Amino acid sequence: MRLTENIFDAEALYSADMKAHVEEVYRTACRLSRLRSLLDGIKVGASSLREIILTAGEKEKNKSLSDDFEQRLQKAMFGIIKNLSAYQQRKWKEVVGDE
């Protein structure tokens, strides 16, 4: 290795191939840095997405609650239709009263 006192003259010591190789290494390092920052952003997004997505147990619980609500709704609807039918058969105007 050769020591020089003037760093500006040191450029002449390196061949064109060596300069090209150093430039390529620098560009690759820059691309890797950008890729790492992109991956870090993806990791942050994925962790917040994990909080949004439900587990299998949570999905089953929600389905159970939804099914229970649906059954209650159907029972209520059936009761209403049944009562309306009874009122219609018994002359509902007499049951409610004339106003």
Phi (first) and psi of residue 55, to 5 degrees: -80, 170
Task: Tell me: pLDDT of 37 over 80.
Answer: yes
pLDDT at 3 over 60: no
pLDDT on residue 19: 82
What pLDDT does residue 43 have?
86
C-alpha closest to that of 90 among 1, 82, 20: 82
Which residues does 20 contact at the CB level (< 8 Å), separation at least 6?
A: none
Alpha-carbon span 17 to 23, nearest angstrom: 10
Average pLDDT for residues 93-98, to the nearest whole number?
64
Across all residues in the chain, what is the average pLDDT?
81
pTM greater than 0.75 (yes/no): no
